[in-house]
């Protein structure tokens, strides 16, 4: 009981440090407990969605970075309820996103999101939240082959995206495009960063014209194909070994962005026969979702083998509840998209949790 109270209290005490709010009875426990890992004091990933008219945290028109894939308001989404839900963890409150304070604390740092278009989605939300806090500052951008970088000039904070579908390499050779399950050359760029947020999943299952490789290689063996969950586990294991051998944890914090769910099967939310998210304007209420992703189990298994502290942003369940938060047809590409997420929208909660973890972790 005492321990529970202390843990709970420490969370609020930390919030008090951040916000300079009033919370005298917790103050004494701050120093001894401030180094505690966030996860020990509150599971931020367990909770429910609460209607909150103060949301969204910024307007789409105020963020010039939003790509047409995600800018649902601009592409005439008529409802706006989906913008007005706040994630309420069961045992604590998420700290509010204090962007300017964040930029000051992380002055001179390089933050990199690495992965597929779900990393792009997350990165854009994080940038929009930071920009909303400092709308007047000079932000420059640079793009090269695989990196897009936005730098807040006054704070010298760079928020970067590294496009990588599998984290491990795909290389074009005589035989074609080879997915190399035990090679991770881009790690040499990643390890220079201060904060890394990895994600991979969506592309491992793709077949036919959407499969971006011709052969799989592991060691000296090449394969036409293999069980994709096996391949996913092997690729992720290569990444995990790289994290332990190459990342300097005195300098760099490492996160893994949990599996982002899609909403194409109404059976998942008790509406069999529905094949997309087009008519969804409400979240699933409650705290649990019946569908579990095998990939989540693999991610947890592999993360469990890493010696160093890698923080899992375990956003799968809270995102599964948000069948209403995808662009559906309200995007600039013209298709039905129940995989990515509107911005502003759900990824802002991922950003709030990342922020909370960075401030406490
Ligand atoms: C913004 O920063 C860039 C690069 O440092 C500089 O060239 C430019 O003049 C700055 N613009 C403003 C409006 O301060
Ligand atoms: C990147 O900067 C250029 C100016 O250097 C600007 O025209 C462009 O809109 C910026 N890109 C984004 C995505 O903001
Ligand atoms: C792209 O930018 C990164 C970071 O600035 C740099 O390390 C890398 O060499 C650049 N790649 C190319 C092809 O210019
Ligand atoms: C792969 O082939 C090379 C060259 O034939 C050999 O030296 C190496 O030991 C082989 N590696 C494995 C894991 O079998
Ligand atoms: C939707 O989910 C149900 C229940 O898991 C499953 O039986 C069905 O095959 C799925 N439908 C599609 C189109 O994948």
**3-state secondary structure string across the chain:** CHHHHHHHHHHHHHHHHHHCCCCHHHHHHHHHHCCCCHHHHCCCCCEEEEECCCCCCCCHHHCCCCCCCCCCCCCCCCCCHHHCEEEEECCCCCCCCCHHHHHHHCCCCEEEEEECHHHHHHHHHHHHHHHHHCCCCCEEEEECCCEEEEEECCCCEEEEEEECCCCCEEEEECCEEEEECCCCCCHHHHCCCCEEEECCCHHHHCCHHHCCCCEEEECCEEECCCCHHHHHHHHHHHHHHHHHHHCCCCCCEEEEECCCCCCCCHHHHCCCCCCCCCCCCCCCCCCCCCCCCHHHHHHHHHHHCCCCCEEEECCHHHHHCCCCCCCECCCCCCCCECCCCCCCCHHHHHHHHHHHHHHHC
The percentage of the chain sitting over the pLDDT mark of 70, rounded to a whole number, equals 89
Cα–Cα distance measured from residue 357 to residue 346, given in angstroms and rounded to the nearest whole number: 17
User: Residue 18's pLDDT is what?
Assistant: 33
CA of 217 to the centre of ligand 4 (A): 13
pLDDT bucket at 42, cuts 50 / 70 / 90:
confident
Cis peptide leading into residue 124 (ω within 30°): no
CA of 254 to the centre of ligand 2 (A): 28
Cα–Cα distance measured from residue 130 to residue 137, given in angstroms and rounded to the nearest whole number: 11
Looking at the CA of residue 160, tell me the nearest atom of ligand 3: 4
- Residues 85, 52: contact at Cβ < 8 Å? yes
Q: Which residue has the higher pLDDT, 10 or 264?
A: 264
pLDDT bucket at 24, cuts 50 / 70 / 90:
very low
User: Residue 290's pLDDT is what?
Assistant: 86
Average pLDDT estimate for 2-22: 33
Average pLDDT, the chain: 89
Looking at the CA of residue 219, tell me the nearest atom of ligand 4: 13
Residue to probe by mutation, ligand 2, list 120, 141, 142, most atoms within 8 Å of CB: 141
Is residue 319 annotated as a catalytic residue, yes or no?
A: no
CA of 262 to the centre of ligand 5 (A): 13
183, 337, 351, 360: which is the annotated catalytic residue? 337
For residue 332, how many other CB atoms are within 10 A of its CB?
A: 14
Q: Is 145's C-beta closer than 6 angstroms to any atom of ligand 3?
A: yes
CA of 291 to the centre of ligand 1 (A): 49
Token readout for 295 is 């990939």
CA of 158 to the centre of ligand 3 (A): 14
Largest pairwise CA distance in the chain = 68
Is residue 117 annotated as a catalytic residue, yes or no?
A: yes
Q: Report the candidate in 15, 33, 19, 38 with the shortest Cα–Cα distance to residue 255.
A: 38
Q: Is the pLDDT score of 108 beyond 50?
A: yes
Q: Is 219's C-beta closer than 6 angstroms to any atom of ligand 4?
A: yes
Q: Is 138's C-beta closer than 6 angstroms to any atom of ligand 1?
A: yes
User: Residue 40's pLDDT is what?
Assistant: 55
Cα–Cα distance measured from residue 104 to residue 294, given in angstroms and rounded to the nearest whole number: 40
Which of 31-35, 83-87, 289-293 shows the highest mean pLDDT? 83-87
41, 48, 60, 117: which is the annotated catalytic residue? 117
User: Residue 191's pLDDT is what?
Assistant: 97
Cα–Cα distance measured from residue 258 to residue 44, given in angstroms and rounded to the nearest whole number: 13
Between vectors from CA 131 to CA 127 and to CA 137, what angle results, nearest 5°?
130
328, 340, 348, 351: which is the annotated catalytic residue? 340
Radius of gyration of the chain (CA): 21
Looking at the CA of residue 140, tell me the nearest atom of ligand 2: 2
pLDDT bucket at 325, cuts 50 / 70 / 90:
very high
Q: Is the pLDDT score of 200 beyond 60?
A: yes
Q: Which numbered ligand comes closest to the C-alpha of 162?
A: 3
> How would you label 67-92 residue by residue, b for 16+ Cβ within 10 Å and e otherwise?
eebbbbbebebeeeebbebbbebeeb
**What is the per-residue pLDDT across 276-323, written as a single tens digit (0 to 9) for each?**
999 999 999 999 998 999 999 999 999 999 999 999 999 999 999 999
Cα–Cα distance measured from residue 89 to residue 315, given in angstroms and rounded to the nearest whole number: 12
User: Residue 86's pLDDT is what?
Assistant: 97
Q: Is the pLDDT score of 61 beyond 60?
A: yes
Q: Is the pLDDT score of 21 beyond 50?
A: no
pLDDT bucket at 3, cuts 50 / 70 / 90:
very low
Q: Report the candidate in 205, 209, 212, 211 with the shortest Cα–Cα distance to residue 228.
A: 205
Q: Which residue has the higher pLDDT, 257 or 22?
A: 257
Average pLDDT estimate for 21-41: 36
The percentage of the chain sitting over the pLDDT mark of 90, rounded to a whole number, equals 87
pTM higher than the cut 0.85: yes
Average pLDDT estimate for 172-187: 97
């Amino acid at each position: 009981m005492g321990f529970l109270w202390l843990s709970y209290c420490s969370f609020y005490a930390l919030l008090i440090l951040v916000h300079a709010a009033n919370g005298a009875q917790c103050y004494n426990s701050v120093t001894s407990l401030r180094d505690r890992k966030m996860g020990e004091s509150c599971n931020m990933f367990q909770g429910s969605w609460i209607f909150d008219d103060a949301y969204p945290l910024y307007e789409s028109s105020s963020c010039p970075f939003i790509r047409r894939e995600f800018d649902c308001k601009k592409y005439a989404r008529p409802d706006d309820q989906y913008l007005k839900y706040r994630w309420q963890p069961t045992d604590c409150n998420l700290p509010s996103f204090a962007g300017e304070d964040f930029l000051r604390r992380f002055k001179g740092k390089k933050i990199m999101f690495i992965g597929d278009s779900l990393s792009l989605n997350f990165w854009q939300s994080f940038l929009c939240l930071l920009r909303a806090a400092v709308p007047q500052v000079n932000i420059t951008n640079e793009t090269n082959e695989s990196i897009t970088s936005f730098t807040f000039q006054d704070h010298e904070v760079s928020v970067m995206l590294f496009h990588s579908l599998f984290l491990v390499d795909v290389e074009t050779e005589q035989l074609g495009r080879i997915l190399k399950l035990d090679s991770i050359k881009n790690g040499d760029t990643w390890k220079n960063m201060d904060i890394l947020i990895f994600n991979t999943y969506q592309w491992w299952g793709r077949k036919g014209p959407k499969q971006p490789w011709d052969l799989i290689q592991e060691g000296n063996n090449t394969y036409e194909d293999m069980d994709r969950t096996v391949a996913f586990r092997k690729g992720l294991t290569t990444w995990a070994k790289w994290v332990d051998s190459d990342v300097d944890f005195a300098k760099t914090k490492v996160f893994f962005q949990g599996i982002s769910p899609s909403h194409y099967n109404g059976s998942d939310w008790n509406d069999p026969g529905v094949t997309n998210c087009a008519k969804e304007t409400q979240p699933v209420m409650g705290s649990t979702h019946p569908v579990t992703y095998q990939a989540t189990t693999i991610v947890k298994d592999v993360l469990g083998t890493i010696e160093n502290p890698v923080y899992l942003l375990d956003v799968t369940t809270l995102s599964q509840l948000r069948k209403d938060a995808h662009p559906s047809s309200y995007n600039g590409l013209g298709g039905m998209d129940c995989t990515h997420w509107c911005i502003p929208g759900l990824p802002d909660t991922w950003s709030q949790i990342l922020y909370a973890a960075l401030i406490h972790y």
